[in-house]
Structure 1
Amino acid sequence: MAQPAGPVARHSGVSRERFQQDIYPLRKPAVLKGIDLGTCTTKWTVDYLSQTAGTKEVKIHVSTVPQMDFLSKNFVYRTLPFDVFVRRAAEVKHNEYFISEDEKYYLRSLGEDPRKDIADIRKQFPSLAEDIQIPEYFEKEQFFSSVFRISSAGLQLWTHYDIMDNFLIQITGKKRVILYNPRDAPYLYLSGTKSEVLNVDNPDLEKYPLFMKARRYECSLEAGDVLFIPDMMGNILLSAGDE
């Protein structure tokens, strides 16, 4: 396991002014609690999501194991109507499936043309976008994309980093998040923006001996929490809920 870097700070009722003055300049991850996210926190049940977004076709990741690895591609891409996908993602065992009855699902929304269009929940899922209020901690012109994600419970995504500041908004369920300081990138065995180290809790130290030097931040997100992730901070998302 990597070296602990300390707990992720938690803040309640953060105003835009406080975020800009006291939190953002530190360039450290922070959990923001008590933010008004709109009606999504009460509305977004399996029934509501499937009925509201309907039969729109979505491209999803399907894996027979809970740890998805982007580098080895231990998953396949499949297409399902959104309502069918949401119900399957909420199941532990499936009566209908692609590979196995306990397969895991992951949706990361894309633009209509993934090569040109950015992910924007307001365009891809307008009926659901009405329910969510994205925290306005930055100017509107600084806003780049809003990626809508849903996963099966217990799914783990690959370790990766993003080149922009992010807000991870947890609407329903719970999520365990592990992050690494950008200064420790030399210890993460990166291939492009992805790390070769998949099992961060029990890494193969014979294969990845430098990984022990990487300092990790860890936090648990509850429904309604918002995690600020500074750009370039390597992160791995361990989902323990519906989204």
Structure 2
Amino acid sequence: MSISYKIDRVAHLSPEEFVAGYVRHRRPVLISKGFEGCAARHVWSLDHLRRRAGERRIVLKDWDESGIRLSHVRLDAYVDSLERYEAGDDEEAASRRRPPYLHDVPLTSILADAAADLEQFPCGFFPAWYGADWPKFAQLFLGPSGSVTPLHFDCLLTHNLFFQVMGRKKFTLLPYKQLVYCYPRDWRWCAVDVENPDYDRHPLFRSASPVEVVVEPGDVLYMPPGALHHVRSLDCGLSFNVDWHTKESALRGALAFARGMPMKNVYYNSVIAFGMWTGVAARVLFPYYRSYLDYVS
């Protein structure tokens, strides 16, 4: 794999082309309007979330220098705060106190019938083990413009398909081999600010080669295992992703304790590896994996 990324932007990609050209070579790719034909792309909105799951209590995650801070609110109240902030018509927006980010929430805990709204997306983009159950493994993201997720890699070293429903996000990507330039901490996070690097504190980052890509509504972004990514919401955004394994990446993940992976992460990888290598169905093992979808790491 190249030491730096070149991100293809393609209009059409079959599952077979995706696997052969990108998954096997661990190359990121942006599939323009890759799920435009799904009902989710056109039906899901702030109003839809308010109607379908407004009473659900959610956990919001905010980052500061001390780490991640959590708060608990109703989804409808959170959606209201997003709309007020984006409209700029109350004191919250005027003072630029941005609402926190709703991050890594099980998609089907918010939209129980999500699979029906996504049935037009080919299951073949995922290994056969996931089958039609793949939406159960998805996580939802919702937040205001200006939300930022610092530079990190996905904690299970999974493949990642990221679906942008509403708004735009800017991803800054680097290959895992450049982690050494990014001042890693706490297993998967990086201390360097890729948007405004302090070269006095982080001089090695001068050798890094970050690449930016803007993900538009309807786009699907593939990131291979270990891909470092920093994410900024350019608009109020709704999106979801699926962290998924092949047989090979699941096995590598199950053995990654030797590289410092936390044992809780190793457990989740072991569940998937066991299923893929023994043939035990995803629906049977999902209850043992589900807590990952709420995992704060």
TM-score, structure 2 normalization: 0.67
Alignment RMSD (CA, Å): 2.4
Aligned 8 A contact 1:53 1:127 in 2: no
Identity fraction in percent: 23
Q: Tell me the SS of whatever aligns to 2:31.
A: strand
The answer to whether 1:125 aligns with 2:111 is yes
1:152 and 2:152 equivalent? no
Give per-residue Cα distances to partners, 1:192-211, cap 9 Å, x unaligned: 2100113x122111000001
Counterpart position of 1:211: 205
Q: Which runs of 5+ in 1 are unaligned?
A: 63-67, 111-118
Structure 2: where are the runs of 5+ without partners? 239-297
Aligned partner of 1:47 in structure 2 is 47
My pick for the range that moved more, 189-198 or 24-33, is: 24-33
Would you say 1:76 and 2:69 are equivalent positions? yes
Matched, 1:12 2:11: yes
CA contact under 8 A between 1:40 and 1:171: conserved in structure 2? yes
**One-letter amino acid matched to 1:12:** A
Q: Corresponding residue for 2:228? A: 234
CA distance in 2: counterparts of 1:153 and 1:80, whole angstroms: 19
Alignment correspondent of 1:65: none
Deviation string 1:154-196 (CA, Å, 9 cap, x unpaired) is 1111111011000011111001000111111111100021001
Partner of 2:25: 26
Distance of aligned partners of 1:129 and 1:77 in 2 relative to their CA distance in 1, 3 Å threshold: farther
1:57 is matched with which residue? 57
Q: One-letter code of the match for 1:50?
A: R
Give the distance between the partners of 1:60 and 1:203, measured in 2 at CA: 27
The 1:135/1:166 distance shift into structure 2, 3 A limit, reads farther
Residues 188-203 of structure 1: pairs in structure 2 closer than 5 A: 188-191=182-185, 192-198=187-193, 200-203=194-197
> Which whole-Å CA distance do the structure 1 matches of 2:57 and 2:211 have between them?
36
Q: Deviations over 1:56-78 (max 9, x none)?
A: 0001024xxxxx44x632x6321
How many angstroms apart in 2 are the aligned matches of 1:6 and 1:233? Answer: 10
Q: Aligned partners of 1:208, 1:138: CA distance in 2, in Å?
A: 37
If each structure's helix is expressed as a fraction of its own residues, which one has the higher value? Answer: 2
Partner of 1:114: none
Compared CA separation, residues 205 and 132, structure 1 to 2 (3 A):
same
Partner in structure 2 of residue 170 of structure 1:
164
CA distance, structure 1, for counterparts of residue 188 and residue 137 of structure 2: 18
**Residue identity matched to 1:213:** S
Cα shift at 1:240 = 1.2
Specify whether residues 135 and 187 from structure 1 end up closer, same or farther in structure 2 by C-alpha distance, changes over 3 A only: farther
1:14 to partner: Cα distance: 0.9
Task: Tell me the secondary structure at the aligned position of residue 79 of structure 2.
Answer: helix
Of structures 1 and 2, the one scoring higher in RCO (CA 8 A, sep 6+) is: 1
